[in-house]
Structure 1
Amino acid sequence: MKQEHVEQLFQWIDNTATTISEDMNITYLESIAETMDVLFNGQPFDDMSENLQTYLTNELTKVKKDNHEKEEIRKAVQLAILKGMKGATQQQHLITPDSVAMFMGYLASRLFEGEEELKIFDPAAGSANLITSVMNQLDMPVNAYASEVDPTLIQLAVTNANLQKNKIEFFHQDSLAPFLMEPVDFVMGDLPVGYYPDDVQAAKYELKAEEGLSYAHHLFIEQGLNYTKEGGYMMFIVPNFLFESNQSKALNAYLREHAHIVGMLQLSDSLFKDEKHGKSILILQKKGKDTKAPKQALLVKLPSFKNPNGMADILSQMNAWFDEYKSR
């Protein structure tokens, strides 16, 4: 992967999206999705103004999408989306930090080492940055599914996956409603944190609150378990306070019954402006007749990703842990 390719493609997406945004009078984020659609299509769309079509036809001669690796495309798109989100204040319009996405890809590749193929699902896909990052790091055929309720984000996600040539089947729906989908080997995601507004839907979950609103992140974990095969894995980015909140007693009891806690890796505080927003990566295995809990769960506080020595040390410890875990 070449950094200059990422920067050139980002510049192209940025300039094109800015022009589309002004011409079509849409937000910059929406115009990124239009830009990626045009790039994937190889020509402008007929419903665009004549001036815009002429501009885009000219701009398309300056970029060759097939000359870019998947990761170059993903990173360039991610930079554009990050720029677009600076203006967006909505919490769900935040993107998983790249270092964390790459790290989750490493964890997934260790969990599923030696598998011939994999079915994965991200129920909180956003712009598909996390799921495509993980897919790009797995060296086996992957059937992927993803869900997102936000119309702008799912449009970005579809065009993002198309450009990277990653085959993902998308659901545009509330991710806590039922899916027409068979259980998968691996459910992963960066969970939305906060209260879930739909009491009627929440009532169908074991982890609904005794009174008042239920925590969305708890319901997502239960939903993840519903769509994981026996013996399959889940990996979620969760708030550090997950097991310390007023509803965590129910969550603890539920997980003890249905899953093995494989690991909890606390991300470095340096990733978060405020340590009360700190997050961890939770790894679970759904119980099955042949599954057993690890002798010792993988409990780690990760150093900053900018600290290569600290990271190398932790990775060698983790690799040793995985070797033992996989050989049981």
Structure 2
Amino acid sequence: MQQTHVEELFEWIDEAATAIEYQENTTYLESVADALDVLYHHAPFDDMADLLKQQLEKHLKDIDLNKFEKEEIRKATQLAILKGMKGATQQQHLITPDTVAMFMGYLTQRLFKDAQEIRIFDPACGTANLLTAVLNQLDKQVAAYGSDVDETLMKLALANANLQKTEIEFFHQDSLRPFLLEPVDFVLADLPVGYYPDDVQAGEYNLKAEEGYSYAHHLFIEQSLRYTKQGGYLMFVIPNFLFESDQATQLNAFLREHAHIVGMLQLPEALFKEEKHAKSILVLQKKGKGTEAPKEALLAKLPSFKNHNAMADILAQINQWFEKNHSS
């Protein structure tokens, strides 16, 4: 069977990362970031050991980056990152499933169908897999921004964007602190779920907890609304329990005041190991002059992405909803 471009590139990254991991005594995930940089610059780093330099130079002769499409680069990079994350136990080291990223790209296209250009921000961008997956589906002028606090993920995000020749401005910071960023048309994020440990910073938010730690996912929603233009859109991957938790009343009241709920699409349970980890896609519009809630919100339970007939049916219904309820 002929090897695909994605497999070929993944193997190249994997072999280079494994060599770096062994020689430099770093983690596989950090080595992937270095391997991607070496590939992008088509040269090993100056400070690498001579033996490693020789290995990588020889390895670079086997690859021609120009023959790969953006999506092939993204998918091969994602496979290497996923391999590295198997060993990482941290909750934030998780990647949005590809089918979900593709579906969110499709929804983004529909939301901004008539826009010539848009500005997009992902405040929890991780390795920028979700952000680049969505960008690769848009056929318009886009200015993109991403932020993450994790240094390794930021290195991977930068290398990922560079290889895809996608311009993204990254902020390496705690995304719940202020940004030097003008409000954008669209905020997109797979929300980090859990408690936010900085009580002082949480105090700057309406959605801070009355007592104890605040929920990071609630604060991310509020922060995202701050950096969205009036009438702009937000799309989040959220835990299904978002509106049922102990601080949900506060969140509901806040959203009623600041946003219109455009839609909520429950993701197939088969994507998640346990029911309690199941997630949905929430679409909001920030209230502004002349904005109003859709006559009916877009509510759906998505079938398995593998069930093509059921998926075609639901997409037809979603397209119909957009025709009736949405003009961008």
Q: Is 1:202–2:202 an aligned residue pair?
A: yes
Aligned to 1:71: 71
- Partners of 2:114 and 2:52 lie apart in 1 by 49
Aligned to 2:265: 265
Aligned to 2:127: 127
- Partners of 2:319 and 2:253 lie apart in 1 by 30
Specify the SS of the correspondent of 1:283.
strand
1:157 CA drift (Å):
0.4
Task: Tell me the TM-score normalized by structure 1.
Answer: 0.98
1:76-132 residue CA offsets vs partner (Å, 9 max, x unmatched): 000000001111111100100000000000000000002111100000001000000
- Partners of 1:23 and 1:322 lie apart in 2 by 54
Aligned to 1:321: 321
Q: How many residues align?
A: 327
Q: Is 1:113–2:101 an aligned residue pair?
A: no
Aligned to 1:61: 61
Specify the SS of the correspondent of 1:264.
strand
1:248-304 residue CA offsets vs partner (Å, 9 max, x unmatched): 001000000000000000000000010011000000000011111000000110011
1:65-85 residue CA offsets vs partner (Å, 9 max, x unmatched): 111000000000000000011
- Partners of 1:3 and 1:314 lie apart in 2 by 33
- 1:1-328 maps to which residues of 2 (within 5 A)? 4-327=4-327
CA separation of 1:145/1:327 partners in 2, compared to 1, >3 Å: closer, same or farther? closer
Specify the SS of the correspondent of 2:114.
coil
Residue identity in the other structure for 1:117: E
1:326 CA drift (Å):
2.1
1:3 CA drift (Å):
7.4
CA separation of 1:98/1:3 partners in 2, compared to 1, >3 Å: closer, same or farther? farther
Residue identity in the other structure for 1:74: R
Percent of aligned positions with the same letter in both sequences?
69
Q: Which runs of 5+ in 1 are unaligned?
A: none
Residue identity in the other structure for 1:5: H
Residue identity in the other structure for 2:311: M
CA separation of 1:327/1:150 partners in 2, compared to 1, >3 Å: closer, same or farther? closer
Residue identity in the other structure for 1:30: E
CA separation of 1:3/1:253 partners in 2, compared to 1, >3 Å: closer, same or farther? farther
Specify the SS of the correspondent of 2:254.
helix
1:42 CA drift (Å):
1.0
- Partners of 2:142 and 2:48 lie apart in 1 by 36
- Partners of 2:114 and 2:306 lie apart in 1 by 30
Q: Which runs of 5+ in 2 are unaligned?
A: none
The two structures, once aligned, show a CA RMSD in angstroms of: 1.0
- Partners of 1:79 and 1:3 lie apart in 2 by 15
- Partners of 1:9 and 1:193 lie apart in 2 by 32
- Partners of 1:25 and 1:238 lie apart in 2 by 37
- Partners of 2:327 and 2:203 lie apart in 1 by 41
CA separation of 1:165/1:315 partners in 2, compared to 1, >3 Å: closer, same or farther? same
- Partners of 2:211 and 2:20 lie apart in 1 by 47
Specify the SS of the correspondent of 1:304.
coil
